[in-house]
Amino acid sequence: MPDRPDVPPAYVQRLRELLDLPECVEEPAWTGVRWRVRRATVAHVFGGEDQLFRIVFRAEPDEVLAFEHLGSPYFKAGWGTNVVGMVLDDGTDWTELGELLTDSYCLQAPERLAADVARPA
């Protein structure tokens, strides 16, 4: 059994659809799969030894604090000042996650690319 389980293909497929944004590319990460625009990571999905799957992404500074206080399924990552995440499971709100990933993309992408993407209100 691997140290970290592979990410379920259904999750990766849904994330591909949500992250179909200008110059956003999918690639294998040290564990799991990540999406980047140029050299900046937009999102990273991975499995843990606890058999839970998580996705981390970027958020505005004021939103980081809000996510941290919301609790499950959200969390603040242990690295970076603007990295938050969500546990993925059968109850995941994929519409909301799509909005969060679009925001993450707009924070990480060059201005000219982000300008072409409708950012959620």
Does 40 reside within a domain?
yes
Does 103 reside within a domain?
yes
Does 4 reside within a domain?
no
Does 119 reside within a domain?
no
**Residues 80-118: tens digit of each pLDDT:** 889 999 999 999 999 999 999 999 999 999 999 999 998
Other CB atoms within 10 A of residue 88 CB: 21
**Residues 1-42: tens digit of each pLDDT:** 344 458 889 999 999 999 999 999 999 998 999 999 999 999
Mean pLDDT for all residues in the chain: 91
Which domain covers residue 94, as residue numbers? 9-114
Structural domains of the chain, count? 1
Does 96 reside within a domain?
yes
Does 1 reside within a domain?
no
CATH code at position 99: 3.90.1150.30
Put simply, whether the predicted model's pTM sits higher than 0.95 gets the answer: no
